[in-house]
Structure 1
Amino acid sequence: MQSIILYIGAALAEIGGCFAFWAWLRMGRSPVWLVPGCGALVVFAWLLTRVDASEAGRAYAAYGGIYIISALLWLWLAEGVRPDRWDLIGAVLCLCGAGVILFSPHRV
């Protein structure tokens, strides 16, 4: 359960940090947006290292499913675009894959 909470926190930090760059480059916002954006990306990287996984690649792969769900929630709540059924089907498939990666008994 702790891994999922860390993944959700990491996803929020990554989306927030990347959005700061998006706002600066694509929406014409002030470069000052980059300061909290870079801070959020540092928090993202730090949180991802806290996940209980023995290999970084496996931690990143499992995180992908959580990130996709978070990105679709951002799309809906922050950008006002409701995900369609194809978005949701894809997200469920990715989340299932992330679950297999995260919770399967791997060889050590």
Structure 2
Amino acid sequence: MSEKQVVEADLNFDPFNCCGNEALYPFKCSQCGWPMVFCYECDTLYNNLHDLSQNDQEINHFKPDHPGFSCPKCNYKFEYYFMQNPLYWVSIKDWVDAGFEHLLRKNST
């Protein structure tokens, strides 16, 4: 049986303040396991969940044949359509072990 993955409904939206209509996608780097959150409403990448104000990483919005962005920890290049790849799913256990339980709704763990 596989572990439960963090999905948008598991996140506490209160700390994420990018566009007022947040649509959040939690994920991790498939190479180093670094957890992140992407707002697919406004294309904000929260690449440092220890400091949500650090969300100014450059994102490729227009060239599907180029990487979308790079992992801030290991520099792995994420494909443009990364949200369709299950390699980037992050388990609740890995999320909590990384120290981000406070970014989950109370009933998610």
Same fold (TM over 0.5): no
Larger Rg: 1
Q: State the TM-score, normalizing by the size of structure 1.
A: 0.28
**Structure (1/2) with the larger helix percentage:** 1
Give the TM-score normalised by structure 2.
0.28
